A and B are shown apart, each in its own frame.
Chain A
Amino acid sequence: NAGVTQTPKFQVLKTGQSMTLQCAQDMNHNSMYWYRQDPGMGLRLIYYSASEGTTDKGEVPNGYNVSRLNKREFSLRLESAAPSQTSVYFCASRLLNSPLHFGNGTRLTVT
Chain B
Amino acid sequence: AQSVTQPDIHITVSEGASLELRCNYSYGATPYLFWYVQSPGQGLQLLLKYFSGDTLVQGIKGFEAEFKRSQSSFNLRKPSVHWSDAAEYFCAVGDRGGSNYKLTFGKGTLLTVNP
> What is the interface of chain A, defined by CB distance below 8 A to chain B?
4, 31, 33, 35, 40-45, 48, 50, 58, 90, 92, 94, 96-97, 99-105
Partner of B108, one of A31, A42, A50, A100: A42
B67 at the interface (CB under 8 A from A): no
**Contact present for A43 and B96 (CB under 8 Å):** no
Nearest-CB distance from B95 to chain A (Å)?
Answer: 8
State the majority secondary structure of interface residues on A: strand
19 contacting pairs across A/B (C-beta < 8 A): A41-B107, A42-B106, A42-B107, A43-B44, A45-B102, A48-B101, A50-B99, A50-B101, A90-B44, A92-B44, A96-B101, A97-B94, A99-B46, A100-B34, A100-B36, A100-B44, A102-B43, A102-B45, A105-B42
Nearest-CB distance from A4 to chain B (Å)?
Answer: 8
Question: Can you name the residue of chain B whose Cβ is closest to the Cβ of A41?
Answer: B107
Complex Cα–Cα for A99 and B43 (A): 14
B90 at the interface (CB under 8 A from A): yes
Contacts of A35 in B (CB 8 A): 105
**Contact present for B102 and A104 (CB under 8 Å):** no
